[in-house]
Chains A and B, each alone.
Chain A
Amino acid sequence: MLRVRHLLIHINTDKGVFGTRQNFADGLNVVRAENYAGKSQLVQSIMYALGMEGMQGPSHAVPLAHALTDYLEYKENGKEGKAKVIDSMVSVEIENGKKQFLTVQRAIAGDRNKHLMTVYEGRAITKKEALSSARDYYVREGGAATNELGFHRRLKDFIGWDLPTAPRFNEPDCPLYLETLFPLFYVEQKLGWGRLPARYPTWLGIRDVGRRTVEFVLGLDAYATAIERTAVNEEIKRLKREWSSARTQAERSGSSIAGIVRGIPVEPIASWPPEVPPTLSVMRDSKWVPISEYLNGLKGRFTELQNIEVPSTEQAEPKIRAELTKLESDLASRERAIAALYEKFETDSAEAEALQQRLDTINDDLRKYRDLRKVRRMGSSDGPEVVNGHCPTCHQDLADSLLDTGNKAVPMTVDQNVSFYEEQIQLFAAVHGNAMHSVQTAEKELRAQRGQVAELRDRIRDIRETLVSASSSPSIEAISDC
């Protein structure tokens, strides 16, 4: 719910200060005046103060008449005069359903950037109760509906609207912008409600904008649509989970033969196989060999072995004792290698995770500083919340010293902070990429080594069985090799 409580227009001219004030109550409010007295300017000023002029089109020009932007005509002691506007400003006090107030102030004419909105957390016109809480926001710029310092994000939170996501023609989905909803609440003089479809801002590129806004405002199918959308999203997530699980299963199957599976797409695809089909390779003599090549080798070896007479245990003993010693030594060495690899894998994983957390934090800080830079470039003098003595997370007062240190030092400017964080992100992203590469390499190597250790153990077991069997019986080791 949104109520306009008070409107103040302040026009500073070369002939003095002009302007108007207007209170608005609940229920019906009628403002009567003769034609050309400025009634339309009054209500359009409210829309402008809320940053809603984008609902009339993409133009960034101030959509108000010359009396507010250029010159005004007045009568004084029966004499007509003309005053040049030096600067002008509109302020509105608004109230939400929780009886909270907000005062929004925006420049109409003058040097101050017209995309900058100063917001007071209370009634700054009628009560002067929130003058110390001023914070600058922006409108008519990218991020105004989504970023922390975007005014329309602040306004929709204040109203208490949970805006649905809307698909666009050629761009990613976006929130249903406030500029698309306000035409339903503002029946302006020229077009009225009779030509409502013509008044929806199509320049924002939202598909079926009229249907979506009416659905949202009247609460028609919006809920059912939201539920359906959630169900579809859940189905997509389920399919992705299944795909990921099947992919992991394939990788595990590969690792059970000391192999690796390559080329299965990370995300599900609609047709199978992909253009570059997945491959399964096994490690032989520290090299990855395609499974087909490995199988051909095995088949050749099988043919060879078929033509060899199986020796008895007694005949094979000297040879297999020597081989047992060698295999046991090899096993011990591989187990040491696995222990070292595992330690490396754990260290790399912990490092990658820590780097990811650091990157997330830096990205969050960067977004806040970019927002701040945006309003600073528009002329705001707001500082980062932490510099203002407020915790940027919980917004409580933050005393950084027990003693009054006078003016607090600002170690870096906002621009320097943005550059610093951008560099930090580049640096940490590169380090994180390397860490992830190390983790993946260690993981693959670990799987391959474990597979080879399993094979070694099988072979050692066969040899030991051969050594404890009757001397005239065929060598189990030789048969096992077959």
Chain B
Amino acid sequence: LIFDEPQQQSVEENAFREMLRHAQGEKNCQIIITTSQPALLSLAADHATDKA
């Protein structure tokens, strides 16, 4: 599942963060998120790449 800048989709912030937390604990899937927001990195410290 690939999300390209999901926070530009007017997502509800709490729901979005909850989805990320859930995704982080789920190893039987693969979710790729691109973002310009540094705050997201802390949620996925293991597999995060900062290209900035």
**B-binding residues in A (CB < 8 A):** 3-4, 22, 24-35, 37-40, 42-44, 46-47, 185-189, 192-194
Contact = CB atoms under 8 A, between A and B. Distances in A.
Given A32-B48, A32-B49, A32-B51, A27 B27 contact: yes
Nearest to A25: B47
Band of interface residues on B: 35 or more
A187 B8 CA distance: 11
B30 interface: yes
Given A28-B24, A32-B48, A185 B1 contact: yes
Contacts of B27: 26-27
B2 to A, nearest CB: 5
A30 B48 contact: yes
Q: Taking each of A32, A38, A43, A47, which has the highest tally of chain B beta carbons within 10 Å of its own beta carbon?
A: A32
B52 A32 contact: yes
Nearest to B37: A32
Contacts of B30: 3-4, 24-27, 29
A255 to B, nearest CB: 66
A53 B49 CA distance: 25
Interface in B3-31: 3-6, 8-10, 20, 23-31
3 A-B pairs closest in CB distance: A192-B9, A33-B51, A39-B34
B44 A187 contact: no
Contacts of B1: 185-187
B31 to A, nearest CB: 5
19 contacts: A4-B32, A26-B29, A27-B29, A27-B46, A29-B30, A29-B44, A29-B48, A30-B47, A31-B49, A32-B38, A32-B50, A33-B50, A34-B52, A37-B36, A39-B36, A43-B2, A185-B1, A187-B2, A189-B8
Nearest to A42: B34
A27 B47 contact: yes
Contacts of B24: 27-28
A178 to B, nearest CB: 15
B40 A32 contact: yes
Nearest to A2: B30
A25 B48 CA distance: 10
Given A34-B36, A186-B2, A193-B9, A28 B31 contact: yes
A33 B37 CA distance: 8
A26 B1 CA distance: 11
Nearest to A38: B51
A305 B13 CA distance: 105
A189 B4 contact: yes
A33 B10 CA distance: 19
A4 B47 CA distance: 13
A28 B52 contact: no
Contacts of A192: 6, 8-9
A30 B8 CA distance: 15
Contacts of B50: 32-33
Given A32-B52, A34-B52, A187-B4, A27 B34 contact: no
A270 B25 CA distance: 59
B3 A187 contact: yes
B49 A28 contact: no
A5 B52 CA distance: 21
Given A37-B52, A43-B2, A187-B6, A28 B34 contact: no
Given A24-B32, A27-B27, A27-B31, A32 B5 contact: no
Contacts of A40: 4-5, 34
Q: Taking each of A3, A30, A188, which has the highest tally of chain B beta carbons within 10 Å of its own beta carbon?
A: A30
Contacts of B44: 28-30
Contacts of A186: 1-2, 4
A30 B36 contact: no
B37 to A, nearest CB: 7
B32 A43 contact: yes
B33 A31 contact: yes
B29 A33 contact: no
A38 B30 CA distance: 21
A186 B51 CA distance: 21
A194 B23 contact: no
B40 A30 contact: yes
A26 B23 CA distance: 10
A30 B41 contact: yes
B39 to A, nearest CB: 9
A468 B30 CA distance: 98
